[in-house]
Amino acid sequence: MFRKVSEFDRGMLFHSVELASILVENDIRMNPLVENNSNIARQADYLHTLFEEFKKSLIEHYDFR
């Protein structure tokens, strides 16, 4: 079952998720320790993947048409 979502709400959800993804990823990557710690860079990549999966789940659970 899909939940109807307005075009405005759809845009707000997607832009909020995208903005959060960019802010967190940039915050991690701008950390001077990232250059010296590949583990932190991998965590940033993993976090980006989580945000992408979250966006996919939004599409699956809401009817954006």
For the segment 1-40, what is each residue's pLDDT rounded down to a tens digit? 456 667 777 777 777 877 877 787 777 767 766 566 677 7
> Is-contact 24 39, C-beta < 8 A?
no
Query: Does residue 24 belong to any structural domain of this protein?
Result: yes
Q: Note whether residue 35 is domain-resident.
A: yes
| Residue 2 counted as domain residue | no
Long-range residue pairs from 18-26, CB within 8 A, at least 24 positions apart, any chain: 18/51, 18/55, 20/51, 21/47, 21/48, 21/51, 21/52, 24/51
pLDDT at 19: 81
- 1: in domain: no
Q: Which domain holds residue 17?
A: 7-61
Q: How many domains does the chain have?
A: 1
